[in-house]
Amino acid sequence: MCGIAGIFSSALALEDRKLKLGKMLQAQEHRGPDATQEWHDSQCSLGHNRLSIIDLSTNANQPMPSSCGRYVIVFNGEIYNYLEIKKELLPHFQFQTQSDTEVLLNAYIYWGTDFLHQLNGMFSLAIWDKQEKTLFIARDRFGVKPFYYYADAQQFTFASEIKALWASGIKKIRNQKVWANYLSFGTYGMPNETFWDTIHQLPAGHFAVLSQENLATFEPQLWYDFVARVQDTPVLEVAELKKQYTALLNDAIQLRFRADVPLGMNVSGGLDSSTLIALIHQNLPITKNIEAFTFYCNDINYDELPWVDLLLQDKPYLLNKVVLKADEVPDLITALSQNQDEPFGGFPTLAYSLLFDAAQKKGIKVLLDGQGMDEAWAGYDYYHNQSNQVIQGVTTSPVRPEVMVNDFANLAEKEVYPQPFASSMQNMQYRDLFYTKIPRALRFNDRISMLHGTELREPFLDYRLVELAFAQKDSIKYNQGNTKWLLRQISQELLSNQVALAPKRPLQTPQREWMANELNEYVSEKIQEFGQLDFVDSKKVQQIWQDYRNGNQDNSFYIWQWINLVELV
C-alpha cells in the first residue's frame, strides 16, 4: 500500500519533471512513510511513496526495474495471491525479492495485458516500457486503489491523490456539473470524473496504453467485464451455494492474512462485521495475533459497544475502543477535508479515521474491514421498499437543491446508470458497486487509512465472492422480510441468532443532534460562509438552517454537504 506518481512528457525538460515530481511525492508522502524514490529517463518520470507491508527490505523499494532492464513499475496496493502467481512464473524468471511488486512486473512481461485476470488484489499501477516508449496503466476490478490523472497533448501526469496533481502545477478549478449534481442529487460524479475540472480518474477495472501520440486522446479499455462474468456464473441451489460461498469466504480471509507486519480489524455490531470476526477467529494462523478497533460517541442511541462486547466476549482479541467527541469534530473536518480533496461521508468518516490513527499508534499497519456485503447481497432497505433513495434509513430528501442560484442549478445533469440485468434489484446493486456507494466508500476509506500510514483490506470485496452472491436469485438475497437471507443462513452457523438475525443498523453517529446542539455555533458559522459562495442563495440557506434548528432533523446530509463544500473551496 503506497502512493504512486508520474509524468510522461517529451515536451517537459528533465529538470522540470524532477521538480514537479518531487512536489507531487511530498504532497502525498503520508501514503508511504517508509521510503520515497524517483526514476527518470528522457520522457518518463516515476515516483513512489512506500508503506512496507510485504518484503520489508530496501530491495523491494519502487520504482522497480525489471531484471531485463526494459520495464519500470510503480504500484500501489496488494496482490493477495502473489505466491501462487510466483509459483507459475518461477520456471521463467529469477526473482530478486520476496515482494508482490516483482511478481506483478514479471506477470506483465510474461502474459501481457492478460496478466490482470490472474490477479486477486487491489491495485493501481503504471509500467514504463523503455523500448517502445509507452506507459501501461491499470486499476483493480472495483477501484479499491485510486488513480488520478491530468492529460493534454504535451503531458500525462498521474498520482494517487488529487492534491499531488495540484502540487505539480495543475490548476484547482471546480467541475461545475459535478458540484451541481452533488447538491441536486447527492451524487459524487461518474467513474471517470472528479469534483475538479481537467482531473480525471481511471475507472475501476480499466487499463490503457499511452504513447506520445495519444496522450490527450487515449481511451481507457475495460478489462474486468463484471456483467459477462455474472451472466456466466451459475445460479445454485441453497445447499450448494452455502458450500461454495463458505469455502470462498474462508479462502478470501486467509489470503488477506499475508503480511510481514502486525494485523488488526475494524469492527461494529452489524452482521457483516460480526461475520468477519467469526471468520478471522476460524482462520487466523496460530502464529499471528490480531487486535480489534471500534468507535463510539457516548450516546446509547447510536453506540454499538454492547453488540461488539457481545461478539468478542469469547474471543482472544484485544478490543481498542476509540471515542469521537463533539468538540473534536471541527478540527477533524478541516484535517479530513484537506486529506480527501473531495466531499466525504460525514461524521462516521471522522470517527472511522480515529480507528486508523489508534492502530498506527500501536504499530498496526494492516486492518481488515467488512465493506462490500450489502452491495453483493442487496442489504440496503431501498433495494426492497421502492423508495428510490440511495441513502439507508432516511424518509425525506437528503438534498436541498433549492439553495443553488438558477444558473448553477441548471448545470446539473442527472446521471443515467446502465441497467444490464433483467432484475431491478441487480441493476440497483450494479449501480451501487460501480457508480455510487462502493466507489465513494472506497475513496473515503483509502484516504483516511493512508493518512495514518495504514493499509485497509476488504476481504468481502474479493471478486469471486461478489460475483457469486450477485448472480443468485433475488429471493436468495431478500426472503421472508430478511435482507441478505443466504448470508444470514451461513452466519447462523458462526454466530448467535441474536446477531445473525438482527436487522441492519446504519453505521451512525449523533451527527443530527450535535449539529443542532453542541456544534450549533460552529455549524452556523460554516453555513454563513456557505451562503456567501457565488452559486448559493444565502436567504434560502438560512431559512432551511433555521427550520433544522427548530426540529426538522429527519436527516442532516444536506447540512453536511454545505459544511464540506466550504472546506473545499
Type of residue numbered 403: V
> Up-side HSE of residue 217: CA atoms within 13 Å toward CB?
5
Please state, in angstroms and rounded to a whole number, the distance separating the CA atoms of residues 19 and 21: 6
H, E, C per residue of 28-94: CHHHCECEEEEEECCCEEEEEEECCCCCCCHHHCCCEECCCCCEEEEEEEEECCHHHHHHHHCCCCC
| Residue 260 labeled ligand binder | no
Cβ neighbours of residue 388 under 8 Å, at least 6 residues apart?
A: 382
Cβ neighbours of residue 437 under 8 Å, at least 6 residues apart?
A: 374, 375, 390
Q: Are 472 and 236 in contact (CB under 8 A)?
A: yes
Please state, in angstroms and rounded to a whole number, the distance separating the CA atoms of residues 303 and 497: 20
DSSP string, 406-464: HHHHTT---------SS-HHHHHHHHHHHTSHHHHHHHHHHHHHHHTT-EEE-GGG-HH
Size of the chain in residues:
569
Phi, psi of 22 (to 5 degrees): -60, -40
Three-state DSSP at 556 gives coil
CB-count burial class (<10 Å; 0-12, 13-18, 19+) for 55: middle
> C-alpha cell of 390?
440511495
For the chain, the farthest-separated pair of C-alpha atoms sits apart, in whole angstroms, at 72
Residue 2 designated active-site: yes
Binding-site annotation, residues for L-glutamine: 100
Active site residues: 2
Residue numbers belonging to the annotated binding site = 100
